[in-house]
């Protein structure tokens, strides 16, 4: 018996990094996964990885920051895989640690549009069917930047603090209707978002990454395990909580 047998799971940003690792983990536990991401080519490669493990994957091209695109993706998902009962809101982009005076309105709108408004839009599009199906779980990929300063710049940190607030409010509003909502707060993880940064090996960056108690950055699979816990009934009494997996970043 898999922990997600019979469930359909949408994972935004599912073509790379934490999203793809989680998709593989969810599929290995019996879920049919629907990968939502920007680019058809990377989606096809990601689906192949899930299928090579023996899982079932569908792909949907979407820009989570655009309402029309999200509505079309929700409709396409219903055609492909029926009612969604697991949603992982994971798509996100970084702001290169820009302080406010280097954050023009375009950068602010782009980061908030994907990282925060994207979560709002995708949840609004999929929640009604989840309620009709009798319940489900939502896992939002937040960040240590949702808890403390310095994990990103002005826009990124603001967006992730917003994701934590949205997680709590959703859990508060819908818990008694069978919807459990929680978020994961990763520290530094080697993914598409950070690969170049880590490969460049700049002393200031690597010092702050490696000086955590764990002494290293994480691999996406280490976050996927946490996402599975929250998506499944293993976390049946967790509502609106932030689960930190940061190698000890935030205890320093
Ligand atoms: N890597 C880290 O160190 C780290 C730390 C904390 C939190 N996070 C969060 O983890 C999440 C996943 O990021 P990752 O590190 O796996 O990076 P990643 O770049 O490997 O994956 C992010 C995916 O999101 C997709 N995406 C971006 N904008 C999109 C949009 N508008 N619509 C649809 N898809 C879009 C990208 O195409 C990409 O496939 C993000 O929310 C990020 O903020 C990452």
Q: How far is the CA of 114 from the centre of ligand 1 (A)?
A: 10
pLDDT of residue 220 exceeding 90: yes
Q: If you measure from the C-alpha of residue 117 to the centroid of ligand 1, how many angstroms do you get, rounded to a whole number?
A: 14
Structural domain count, the chain: 1
Element (H, E) at 116: none
Query: Tell me: the pLDDT tens digits for 117-144?
Result: 999 999 999 999 999 999 999 999 999 9
Report d(CA 42, CA 12) in Å as an integer. 13
Does the residue 199 lie in any domain?
no
Ligand 1 near 141 CB (within 6 A): yes
Is 15's pLDDT higher than 90?
A: yes
Residue 204 lies in a domain: no
Q: Is any ligand 1 atom within 6 A of the Cβ of residue 95?
A: no
Phi, psi dihedrals of residue 215, rounded to the nearest 5°: 75, 15
Cβ contacts of 172 within 8 Å, gap of 6 or more: 240
Quick check: is 232 in a domain? Answer: yes
Please give the average per-residue pLDDT across 201-211, as a whole number. Answer: 90
Measure 219 CA to ligand 1 centroid, in angstroms: 14
Determine if ligand 1 sits within 6 Å of the CB of residue 188: yes
Q: Would you say residue 224 lies in a domain?
A: yes
pLDDT at position 7: 98
Is 92 a member of any domain? yes
Ligand 1 mean position to 96 CA, how many Å? 13
**Mutation to probe ligand 1, out of 10, 13, 77 (largest number of atoms < 8 A from CB):** 13
Ligand 1 site, residue 182, Cβ cutoff 6 A: no
204 C-alpha to ligand 1 centroid (Å): 23
For residue 13, name the pLDDT band (cuts at 50, 70, 90): very high
Separation of alpha carbons 222 and 72, rounded Å: 32
DSSP assignment of 150-214 = SSS-HHHHHHHHHHHHHHHHHHHHHGGGTEEEEEEEE-SB-STTTHHHHHHT-HHHHHHHHTSTT
Domain range for 180 is 8-188+219-245
**pLDDT at residue number 45:** 98
Task: Classify residue 39: in a domain, yes or no.
Answer: yes
pLDDT at 187: 98
Report the percent of the chain where pLDDT is more than 70. Answer: 100
What is the pLDDT averaged over residues 4-16?
Answer: 98
Per the domain annotation, does 145 fall within a domain? yes
- Rounded Cα–Cα distance for residues 30 and 246 (Å): 28
Question: Which tens digit of pLDDT belongs to each residue from 35-85?
Answer: 999 999 999 999 999 999 999 999 999 999 999 999 999 999 999 999 999
CATH number for 144: 3.40.50.720
pLDDT bin (cut points 50, 70, 90) of residue 238 is: very high
Report whether residue 140 contacts ligand 1, using a CB cutoff of 6 Å. no
In a domain, 252, yes or no: no
Ligand 1 centroid–CA 142 distance in Å is 10
Distance CA 48, CA 20 (A): 11
Q: What is the pLDDT at residue 205?
A: 86
| Phi, psi of 30, deg, nearest 5 | 100, -5
Ligand 1 pocket check for 91: Cβ under 6 Å: yes
Does the pLDDT value for residue 204 go beyond 90?
no
Query: Which atom of ligand 1 is found nearest the CA of 218?
Result: 3
Report the pLDDT averaged over residues 205-215.
93
Active site residues: 156
- Looking at ligand 1, which atom is closest to the CA of residue 65? 31
**Residue identifier of the C-alpha nearest atom 30 of ligand 1:** 63
pLDDT band, very low/low/confident/very high, at 28 (cuts 50, 70, 90): very high
Does residue 62 have its Cβ closer than 6 Å to ligand 1? yes
């Amino acid at each position: 018996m898999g922990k997600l047998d019979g469930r359909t799971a949408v994972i935004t940003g599912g073509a790379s990094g934490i999203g793809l690792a989680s998709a593989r983990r969810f599929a290995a536990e019996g879920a049919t996964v629907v990968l939502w991401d920007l680019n058809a080519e990377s989606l096809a490669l990601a689906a192949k990885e899930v299928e090579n493990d023996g899982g079932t994957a569908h792909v949907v091209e979407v820009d989570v920051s655009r309402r029309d695109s999200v509505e079309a993706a929700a409709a396409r998902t219903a055609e492909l895989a029926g009612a969604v009962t697991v949603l992982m809101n994971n798509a996100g982009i970084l702001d290169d640690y820009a302080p406010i005076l280097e954050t023009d309105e375009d950068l602010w709108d782009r980061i908030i549009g994907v990282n925060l408004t994207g979560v709002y839009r995708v949840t609004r599009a999929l929640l009604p069917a989840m309620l009709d199906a009798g319940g489900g779980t939502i896992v939002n990929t937040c960040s240590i930047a949702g808890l403390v300063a310095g994990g990103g710049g002005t826009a990124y940190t603001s967006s992730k603090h917003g994701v934590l607030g949205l997680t709590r409010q959703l859990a508060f509003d819908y818990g008694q209707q069978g919807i459990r909502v929680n978020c994961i707060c990763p520290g530094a993880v080697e993914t598409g978002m950070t690969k170049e940064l880590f490969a460049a090996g700049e002393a200031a960056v690597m010092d702050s990454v490696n000086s955590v108690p764990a002494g290293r950055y994480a691999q996406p699979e280490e976050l996927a395990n946490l996402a599975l816990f929250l998506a499944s009934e293993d976390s049946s009494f967790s509502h609106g909580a932030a689960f930190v997996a940061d190698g000890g970043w935030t205890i320093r």
